[in-house]
Structure 1
């Protein structure tokens, strides 16, 4: 086989892999080989082989005979679809570091990506909260403080999308009833703060505040989280508010300078 033939063959495999990935309607969907084959028009044997390759690469995950998009592809899609300004991390990082020095708790910076939160930056606290989060990874919007504060400042169409979707229950405290979540978002918007009191992990509490632009739209959010048995979110609220306001001012001026 010539080098040219190898390149053509590789191109065909890549094209079919993308065809497989286009079989999902949304990130949370789980599909079996037969359904993927039906949706894509690829033979079941081809679909099964490609899914094995994609699973090995971390692009898809296998769950009891079905498949869903994996963290690797979800992280990439978060960067591309969330519309993250290139300067967001650069501008926000000093304020995240200040909050860490003041609290010694875990600090997150995140943006809304569909029904998820894309984690832009994370600074680990002295006592790490048991939440599986990483830079570039995704967190659920409806149960996290970051997610609730960003949803509260989002257009009604965005809120409707999550309120009409199936909400996963992570702990007994997770709000999965649409009316309750809608009321929670109204309260969050009124106070400019969101809380996660054991809703994502039973041993973690968290509070978040938005970074808003001149039009009052949240473009990102900062959160402080810690172990539920020790961390009191109310004790850090004013520090968080000040950091979020200051970061918002700098982001607005940075946006104006690059516009």
Structure 2
């Protein structure tokens, strides 16, 4: 149990299909290039990504045709579109590890949770969500999805203050919300929000919400190793 919430470990089960394996290998090569920050030879790339040299070379050639990577003499570097792809990859990885944690909180409390990503040069993005039963009658799914974009939302307050923040009926007249941010080393932040109908005491949710986002990011870091 986690401060009153059931704790569930994310576990990727089952065998990867062939296409999934190729995709995972491609993202592995992209991550190595992004971390290096300079052109890298295929031998070093393959070793760092844990791939046979011939496999790494074939995947790099495919990525080059899409403009994701490019060859400079006998070395490889990221191409013209790496930043958007890296962000999309990060969002997908983060959503995967966050979902079980967030669903566990929803099952234990009935609350609705959203996970947002704020990164330099990009609009605020909803990474994943876990809908509870209690605010469905107060707000449509669309209103819930876009609630964090409201300038009075707890999301923006948390980003401005750099800590957990709350708002009571300001982004939506029938919903109260708390949000907690964690700054990322690369810039920007990940923000976890919890919403309940007006009048529900949000105080008991504050420490568990901080704990949940810490666990989500811990799970994600383990996945990235």
TM (normalized to structure 1)? 0.45
Partner of residue 128, structure 1: 135
Residue 147 (structure 2) pairs with residue 142 (structure 1): no
Partner of residue 206, structure 1: 177
Partner of residue 104, structure 1: 110
Consecutive unaligned residues in structure 2, runs of 5 or more: 1-83
Q: Is the 8 A contact 1:82 1:111 kept in 2?
A: no
Partner of residue 16, structure 2: none
RMSD in angstroms over aligned alpha carbons? 3.1
Q: Is the 8 A contact 1:205 1:232 kept in 2?
A: no
Cα 1:90–1:115 shift into 2, 3 Å: closer
Partner of residue 119, structure 1: 126
Aligned equivalents of 1:210 and 1:109: distance in 2?
Answer: 10
Aligned equivalents of 1:83 and 1:148: distance in 2?
Answer: 23
Deviation at 1:83, TM superposition (A): 2.6
Deviations 1:9-63 (A, max 9, x none): xxxxxxxxxxxxxxxxxxxxxxxxxxxxxxxxxxxxxxxxxxxxxxxxxxxxxxx
- Note the 1:1-259 alignment, pairs <5 A: 83-84=87-88, 85=90, 86-112=92-118, 117-129=124-136, 130-134=138-142, 138-139=146-147, 140=149, 142-149=151-158, 152=159, 185=160, 188-189=161-162, 192-213=163-184, 215=185, 218-229=188-199, 231-255=200-224, 257=225
Consecutive unaligned residues in structure 1, runs of 5 or more: 1-79, 153-184
TM (normalized to structure 2)? 0.51
Q: Is the 8 A contact 2:99 2:130 kept in 1?
A: no
Q: State the number of aligned residues.
A: 137
Aligned equivalents of 1:146 and 1:219: distance in 2?
Answer: 11
- Could you list the structure 1 runs, at least 4 aligned residues long, displaced by more than 3 angstroms after superposition: 113-117, 131-135, 215-219
Report SS of the residue matched to 2:125.
Answer: strand
Cα 1:116–1:148 shift into 2, 3 Å: farther
Cα 1:218–1:254 shift into 2, 3 Å: farther
Deviations 1:192-243 (A, max 9, x none): 2021211211111001112444x395532111101113x2221201111110
Deviation at 1:82, TM superposition (A): 9.9
